[in-house]
Chains A and B, each alone.
Chain A
């Protein structure tokens, strides 16, 4: 495909944009600088970005401890169940 094909149909937000661009003979841009914004009104921030202070390792350990606790808990429960079942079995096997 030719390059011309690539360049067809370039996106347009407003088709008038750049249509009246004046090309200076010297390609010199007029001295135009934006005025400086000097804010004097105070707008309170809606939100404040805060960095989580917890050390990443501590958070990791904490997280895993929680998980482990949960797992231990469930494991214990399962064990309990097993024990119960075992006991039941023992009971069952008990003459």
Chain B
């Protein structure tokens, strides 16, 4: 039987690394925009007095390589020129009429050549300052020009041969009669600067106006200087040169030597000031000092460079307005920063204003369920160098905070509409122990007020608007009925026996009140409270509810009661308070909150307990019976349930230490986390300034906010200030192990850390003895000890194992490896009969003289009692790229080999068997007796461990020359691989094949271009597994993390569902137009240097999900003619509603 080989791939979190950013007038001549390119998407922002306002996110079918704004002559606004890494070029214009924004593709085309060597320095694209021509350096030795002729339908791109093969940067010079490029190139003699004037008619270089041979050997950036100065600035490693063909000025400011300048931004249109950013995150200003010649022209006399301060490691910088810059980063969070004339205390002229979360690059990640909730969280190794961090990513609903008031000790909270004359709430009642505060909401103003009929010197149990324009306030002493118009007390009810009221529930017409085990039922009439019924229960009441069930209902025929002592939930009938149902919940935890509610027409009783768990039942409204009892754990503290309406559906907010929103989807309850640490109380609030909002009380404040429409991922950052590479979770010790790298500077006294970071700031530090069992540097002439004078100032990588607390994310311990020893792999596991769980680190001794490492270690650590004990150490003959636990043994890939080690009773690792047929075995995944190996350049191979023989057998291999970046086993037959041209593919083992030869060959059954390089594949899910079941027939879930900071997932789908989605995808690719006019089929086709093949076996979930963003008429267009297999296995027409439901279900798998 053929295994299922149809897959659905979708982004759960889109790429966040910034490739490029530009500022200009894109959406209109009068609007200033920031445009940020993140992998294959553009984000368009408007610069406003309040800051950046998001305008649109535009997806392209290609990863953006270059993005430039330019203004054709006689135009009032800018156009956007983009080249993708697969050589699709486009010119985009924004048309913005009213609220209707359209991005028009003015010109498009593929500019690739059939032959040519793609340049090592990437794609360079430049536009002539007068917008006469675009220059592209795509392949070595060729400059492609696209003359921007307005009147021709065809824009003809032609190649010009360049003598300069190795070009590092190219720009157009300003103030030239004909378009003239300037470039930095390298030949055996060094790097040189050269200019070429282009004849657009002959499509040739016609002359070289000037050149400067032998500039700095590391010169890599050209900055063209605008008129009137003209000329160009050449940025090197240590020096900066200005040259205009006649004058040349060079400076070598010591402050720039520490790192390498990688990006710049022009500040003034006249080009006197520039911002420079380096790889260490320094922001410099470069200033051209000029003097005026006798003839009145300005010439550059000097260059001044000043350090302004520290920023995120920049990929690109752009000047926005009034001293504010956008810093685009690939390694860390992007930033909005402001330049100040005055220095701050730390001597910096830069103030961060806002930061934009970026997960990139994701080096490794693990899926953990820290709270044992059945919902996975991702912990990623994100960022690099000083931006290195762990990111904790979890799914949930976001609350967008609009206002917040500092107040402590809130015991209850209600919104009221008091004589407002409208539908808006204008009052917030806050209850405290012993008193009540009333806040009036006047626009955004909040002030304390009094209401005559209110009792303010007692705690309030309930408060709300009720029928006949009245208000109810219930305190421990009495039930008070107040006129909403006159605010006077109309009626008051007190329990007869002078007992205090303990628990209450109320709707707009009815009240239930209990004093201990006595229960009273009261109805609300005009100016009157009438006691209708009372009863005595056998035990004390813990919680009550009288919520009306059903659309538009204002009364309830049932009361829900939770009881002390016997720990039961009961349904009582009204008005006589007779018992309809009793459910003994079991256990010893008291119910704290009951709620009757209707979701999607079905009635439920929810009953939350004091330990954060919750029972839920189906409730029969007529008979009052409870069925289908289920239990879920929402938090760890007593939980309060409150119903609220959002987007015309009923939701329930569970207030606890882990606030949760409960809603229904496809008649299944979904429990979605909220991105707040804790919520004690909440109420709906529909005030004029805060429409459709929620008020949420925490221990010391009230937050007013709105709730997100959809689930999204919430990200918490744990900065490490050094590069995390690998992560492993150890449940037994409640810790994470992290392999991390910092940069030290070689000094006469040894290595000095370049900045404080996780490994130097750890609570305790140990260091691997350099003596150890290995003699390092045997084959090296360089001694590993204190460096020679020549090495001073050299950056040296120092690798450590960090032990991090899973709750606080504090670095408990740091173990530093030997000099020249690189930490390569890490797992946490148990081996053999040993009950201890160990962290095992695989290392490599890296010697710059060797082509590949010849030595390494397997080191086993035991973290116990806040101490890290090295348990065992095994010398290996190479780099240990990957480790896995395998049937109680340790599996390691070491250079080209896969080796299995046994953990002996003597606590030694003993080699059992090896497999040799690889180039470099980079990745290992295991399942049962099977081992999947990902090779550097020979795709994947499946091994089987033969227990009897104690050896490996090669079962099957993919013979495609794929350079792997990650592998994963999907099931016994199907294997997922990711390779370095940003593709993903699926291979299948063919067990049923008739010949051995066929069996040995894996079959390619699926392939797709992802557009981002996948670094890690892990089984796991970000959504609740056991609760939010959906109707979509997906099975299994593998998460992936990318270089661009994206998180995606791959899941298997059955063939008929695949066919259905494929048809939907094909329809969507027609209805949804591609910006830049790149075909969807081109975008997803498997593409490497050697082949391009159509996407197969995969559904592009990102396109499928965009169905939900379509207008109703377009949805209808897509749905028409679609058929799906409905009830009774019959094919039926797919309606828009069916399709919305199917696609919404698909969005819920992430």
Q: Chain A residues in contact with chain B, CB under 8 A?
A: 1, 3-4, 6-8, 10-23, 27, 29-43, 45-52, 56, 59-60, 63
Contacts and interface: CB of A to CB of B under 8 A. Distances in A.
Nearest to A20: B49
B268 interface: yes
B155 A6 contact: no
Contact of A39 (B54, B268, B356, B1075): B1075
A74 B57 CA distance: 61
A73 B1099 CA distance: 64
Contact of A34 (B51, B57, B107): B57
A6 to B, nearest CB: 5
B496 to A, nearest CB: 51
Given A3-B308, A10-B319, A19-B322, 17 more contacts: A6-B287, A11-B319, A14-B32, A15-B322, A18-B320, A18-B353, A21-B50, A29-B354, A29-B355, A39-B102, A39-B1072, A45-B105, A45-B106, A48-B107, A49-B89, A49-B108, A56-B159
A28 B585 CA distance: 43
Contacts of B156: 50, 52
Nearest to A12: B322
Interface string B55-88: 1111100000000000000000000000000000
Interface in B1092-1114: 1106, 1109-1111, 1114
A36 B341 contact: no
Contact of B155 (A12, A21, A50, A60): A50
13 contacts: A1-B304, A7-B308, A7-B341, A21-B49, A21-B353, A22-B50, A27-B354, A38-B1110, A40-B1071, A40-B1072, A46-B107, A47-B91, A56-B159
Nearest to B146: A49
B58 A37 contact: yes
Contact of A46 (B106, B321, B401): B106
Contacts of B48: 17
Interface stretch (B109-117, B385-393, B522-530, B1045-1053): B109-117
Interface stretch (B39-47, B164-172, B865-873): B39-47
Interface string B14-54: 00000000000000000010000000000111011111011
A6 B1077 contact: no
Contacts of B158: 51-52, 59
A16 B112 CA distance: 44
Contact of A17 (B32, B106, B352, B356): B32
Given A17-B48, A30-B400, A38 B1072 contact: yes
B1145 to A, nearest CB: 20
A34 B41 CA distance: 11
Contacts of A20: 49-51
B339 A21 contact: no
A16 B153 CA distance: 42
B548 to A, nearest CB: 34
Tell me the dominant secondary structure on chain A's binding face.
Answer: loop
Contacts of B49: 16-21
Interface string B699-731: 000000000100000000000000000000000
Interface in B355-378: 355-356
B285 A3 contact: yes
Nearest to A10: B323
A22 B51 contact: yes
A2 B203 CA distance: 48
Contact of A30 (B47, B107, B401): B401
A40 B879 CA distance: 53
Given A19-B49, A34-B45, A40-B1110, A52 B355 contact: no
B1091 interface: no
Contacts, number: 187
Contact of A56 (B104, B161, B1077): B161
A35 B155 contact: no
Contacts of A47: 91, 106-107, 152-155
Contacts of A32: 53-54
A48 B154 contact: yes
A18 B1085 CA distance: 44
Interface string B317-338: 0011111100000000000001
Contacts of A21: 49-51, 353
List of 3 A-B pairs having minimum Cβ-Cβ separation, nearest first: A49-B109, A34-B54, A47-B107
A21 B304 CA distance: 31
B108 A33 contact: no
Given A17-B320, A39-B103, A48-B153, A23 B142 contact: no
A50 B338 contact: no
B298 interface: no
B107 A50 contact: no
Interface of B: 32, 43-45, 47-51, 53-59, 89, 91, 101-113, 142, 144, 146, 152-159, 161, 202-204, 267-269, 273, 285, 287, 289, 304, 306, 308, 319-324, 338-343, 349, 352-356, 398, 400-401, 708, 1071-1073, 1075, 1077, 1106, 1109-1111, 1114
Contacts of B1075: 37, 39
A39 B102 CA distance: 7
Contact of A6 (B111, B273, B342, B400): B273
A82 B1138 CA distance: 90
Nearest to B1114: A40
Contacts of B401: 30
Contacts of B1073: 39-43
Contacts of B58: 37
B48 to A, nearest CB: 7
A36 B59 contact: yes
A52 B161 CA distance: 14
B111 A49 contact: yes
A1 B341 CA distance: 13
A7 B153 contact: no
Contacts of A19: 49, 322
B50 A12 contact: no
Contacts of A39: 102-103, 1072-1073, 1075
Contact of B1109 (A38, A43, A50, A51): A38
B150 to A, nearest CB: 9
Contact of B400 (A15, A31, A45): A31
A31 B356 CA distance: 10
A63 B1108 CA distance: 55
Contacts of B155: 47-50
Nearest to B308: A3
B269 A11 contact: yes
A41 B104 CA distance: 10
B1128 to A, nearest CB: 35
Contact of B285 (A6, A15, A27, A45): A6
Contacts of A3: 285, 306, 308, 343, 349
A7 B51 CA distance: 21
A32 B1075 CA distance: 23
Nearest to B50: A20
A20 B320 CA distance: 15
Contact of A37 (B50, B101, B320, B339): B101
Contacts of A48: 107-109, 153-155
Contact of B159 (A30, A42, A52): A52
Contacts of A8: 341
A60 to B, nearest CB: 7
Contacts of B1072: 38-40
Nearest to A24: B354
Nearest to B1071: A40
A58 B186 CA distance: 27
Q: Which of A3, A20, A33, A35 has the most CB of B within 10 A?
A: A3
Q: Which of A1, A18, A52 has the most CB of B within 10 A?
A: A18
Contact of A49 (B59, B157, B319): B157
Contact of A13 (B289, B321, B355, B398): B321
Contacts of A16: 49
B306 A11 contact: no
Contacts of A11: 267-269, 319, 321
Nearest to B112: A51
